[in-house]
Structure 1
Amino acid sequence: MDAIYRHQRHIYDASRKFYLLGRDRLIDELAPPERGSVLEIGCGTGRNLIRIAQAYPGRACFGLDVSSAMLETARRSVARAGLTDRIGLAQADATDFDPLALFGRAGFDRIVISYALSMIPPWQGVVEEALRRLAPGGELHIVDFGDQHALPGAFRTLLNRWLALFHVTPRRDLAAVLAGCATRAGATLQARSLHRGYAALAVLRRAG
């Protein structure tokens, strides 16, 4: 991942804002409880975490990423935003991490995964790990590329060829896999398709 992002990280936010649709909608609907906690898995440059911390004062925010290069950029961005005391960052594998060792807490009220599942080959394991790390009554919010069911064929072909250049693979079975993960974890699932299937937005809620 460092090899992929070593140079991309410098233009990542400026370029991705045009096609990573639904990220701000996810943040608007996150609604973490007062004095609650938020973890972003695959936090990248810290863009989402900064917006979450600004939108929800009083919540403790954390981010993990496997890429040390991305985390270096995230730390600088967090510092520029004056949020070093609000946002904790750590390097870890999203399929197997210890939140107590990394952040000093066993679980989180909200966990966010934004356009990371389409870049992680063992992505189902990431979802399962995130569900395990939710506090009772917590929610896992996911936004990523969708099944593209209503996109024009030519556009869909060009989109997928372009995404492949960045090692991105839309998970067209995302909704079905999330439903299975929710059932096994005793969670509920709400999933929506955005922009004719271009993106998908999902919320998995753990029982309180």
Structure 2
Amino acid sequence: MDRIYRRQRVIYDLTRRHYLLGRDRLIADLAPGSGTVLEVGCGTGRNLVAAARRHPAARFYGFDVSPAMLETATAALARAGLGGRVEIAQADATAVAAGALFGRPGFDRVFISYVLSMIPDWRAALERAAEALAPGGRLLVVDFGPQDGLPRAFGRGLFAWLALFHVHPIGDLPVALGDLAARHGLALDCRSLHRGYAVYAVLERPGA
């Protein structure tokens, strides 16, 4: 990840804002109150800054596998004056025990925004994210969809372009989310955004 994004991280947020559709909706839907929020694959810190500003009573946590991205995130949080409310660390989404990483029993909200399609073992990342949920907690996911409602040439072109950055949209993501929900006893609301451009899902663990 450092090899891919060491240079790109400088312009990452400027270029991605035009096509990572649904992530601001996800941030608005977090509604954590005064609870705890974990971002899986926090990258440059852009989402954490936006979420912490929108939900000022909550406490935020994030991790990323890339030290270079975490350098950028640390600087972004400092500029926003959020260092006291947001804690970040280096970890692998496929192997991390996020509660132990941050010394918490679980999180009220966990979110993954356009990260699964960058992780070869994305199923393991989903498992670890579900395990990090506290009772009554919600896991929110947004990522590229199958583009099935859009012109075929658009989808082929998008997938070819994304592959240059080692991003591979997951065609069976809704099915995998359904399996995850069944195995962990989670309620699932999964929908398509923008004619299949993105998949947006909310999984909720029953309360204690």
Q: Same fold (TM over 0.5)?
A: yes
**What CA distance in whole angstroms lies between the structure 2 residues aligned with 1:55 and 1:97?**
27
Offset, 1:103:
1.4
Offset, 1:100:
4.0
Structure 2 counterpart of 1:29: 29
**What CA distance in whole angstroms lies between the structure 2 residues aligned with 1:131 and 1:161?**
30
Structure 2 counterpart of 1:159: 158
Alpha-carbon spacing, 1:59–1:124, altered in 2? closer, same or farther (3 Å): same
Across the two proteins, how many residue pairs are aligned to each other? 207
Greater displacement, 118-127 / 99-108: 99-108
Give unmatched runs, 5+ long, in structure 1.
Answer: none
Structure 2 counterpart of 1:15: 15
Do 2:141 and 2:201's aligned partners in 1 also have CA atoms closer than 8 Å? yes
Q: Does 1:115 align with 2:103?
A: no
Q: Does 1:105 align with 2:104?
A: yes
TM-score normalised by structure 2 residue count:
0.98
Identity of aligned residues (%): 59
**What CA distance in whole angstroms lies between the structure 2 residues aligned with 1:57 and 1:67?**
27
**What CA distance in whole angstroms lies between the structure 2 residues aligned with 1:9 and 1:180?**
34
Greater displacement, 130-139 / 99-108: 99-108
**What CA distance in whole angstroms lies between the structure 2 residues aligned with 1:131 and 1:100?**
11
Offset, 1:207:
1.2
Give unmatched runs, 5+ long, in structure 2.
Answer: none
- Matched residue SS, 2:18: coil
Structure 2 counterpart of 1:193: 192
After superposition, the C-alpha distances for 1:58-87 in whole angstroms (9 at most, x for unaligned) are 211000000000000000000000000010
Show structure 1 runs of 4+ deviating over 3 A: none
Do 2:97 and 2:128's aligned partners in 1 also have CA atoms closer than 8 Å? no
Structure 2 counterpart of 1:137: 136
Offset, 1:13:
0.1
TM-score normalised by structure 1 residue count:
0.98
Structure 2 counterpart of 1:53: 52
After superposition, the C-alpha distances for 1:134-160 in whole angstroms (9 at most, x for unaligned) are 000100000000111111011111111
Q: Which amino acid aligns with 1:116?
A: V
Do 2:188 and 2:202's aligned partners in 1 also have CA atoms closer than 8 Å? yes
**What CA distance in whole angstroms lies between the structure 2 residues aligned with 1:162 and 1:97?**
30
- Matched residue SS, 2:92: coil
After superposition, the C-alpha distances for 1:175-205 in whole angstroms (9 at most, x for unaligned) are 0000001100000110110111011110010
After superposition, the C-alpha distances for 1:81-126 in whole angstroms (9 at most, x for unaligned) are 0000010000001112133442121210000100000000000111
Offset, 1:35:
1.9
Alpha-carbon spacing, 1:203–1:100, altered in 2? closer, same or farther (3 Å): closer
